[in-house]
Structure 1
Amino acid sequence: MVQDPVLDELRQFVRERDWGKFHTPGNLAKSISIEAGELLECFQWDGAELESAKEELADVLTYCLLLADKLGVDPAEIVTAKLEKSRDKYPVEKSYGRSAKYDRL
């Protein structure tokens, strides 16, 4: 079990409300998608209100952390592992300053 102050606080919050029974991986993944849509809505008309965006981003991150916890994975470890794969997939010399994948130019 990953020990992290934020994750520990989330676990306590969920325990106090007996919500863990609802937190299946599928439900958490759906919640991430729903909250990501609400975050996107903050930017719909190019005038994003920072406070609203922060709250929606917090919701997305909360569900991501809860899903990682449910799956028994360390968020820092999986992000670092994915970053290593991305370094190989997008080498600096071929990707620098480009938004398109280098093999599609």
Structure 2
Amino acid sequence: MSKDLQALINSLREFSSQRDWDQFHSPKNLASALTVEAAELLEHFQWLTEAQSRDLPADKRVAVGEEMADVLLYLLRLSDQLNIDLVEAARRKLTLNAAKYPVDRSRGTSKKYTEL
């Protein structure tokens, strides 16, 4: 795992420990909180057009960045609780996705791999 991600995980461990929150940070609770934060992120894009979603005003970009950070922090905390190396898991998943979505059949289409 990268040094930056590991440092962030270590900071989260300390943050949680100082507040005695480990008792609340079960994988189930963290996954639930992650889903809530992802919904809060999505809320910023609700009702926007595709073009509007690509050209957010500065204040909205800050708010979206904060929600993205919440999602990342909960995901890192969950990975720590389950002892899953997210970087390695992401690399494996990218390899699997490359096999599911070969360039010659998936380029330029949003079809699911089962429809290619």
TM-score (norm 1): 0.90
Aligned length: 104
Which string of whole-angstrom CA distances, capped at 9 and with x for unpartnered residues, describes residues 16-44 of structure 1? 11111100010000001100000000111
User: Would you say 1:56 and 2:58 are equivalent positions?
Assistant: no
How far residue 76 of structure 1 moved from its aligned partner, in angstroms, is 0.3
Q: Distance in 1 between matches of 2:115 and 2:99?
A: 16
Identity of aligned residues (%): 44
How far residue 103 of structure 1 moved from its aligned partner, in angstroms, is 4.6
Q: Distance in 1 between matches of 2:94 and 2:113?
A: 17
Q: Distance in 1 between matches of 2:114 and 2:81?
A: 37
Instruction: Choose from 40, 43, 55 the match for 2:42.
Output: 40
User: What root-mean-square deviation, in Å, do the aligned CA atoms of Structure 1 and Structure 2 show?
Assistant: 1.7
Q: 1:15-30 maps to which residues of 2 (within 5 A)? A: 15-30=17-32
| Structure 1 residue ranges (4+ consecutive) displaced by more than 3 angstroms after TM superposition | none
List gaps (5 residues or longer) in structure 1: none
Q: Which amino acid aligns with 1:19?
A: W
- The aligned counterpart of 2:11 is 9
Q: Distance in 2 between matches of 1:14 and 1:78?
A: 24
Q: Is the 8 A contact 1:94 1:102 kept in 2?
A: no
Q: Distance in 2 between matches of 1:7 and 1:64?
A: 10
- The aligned counterpart of 1:96 is 107
Q: Distance in 2 between matches of 1:30 and 1:91?
A: 33
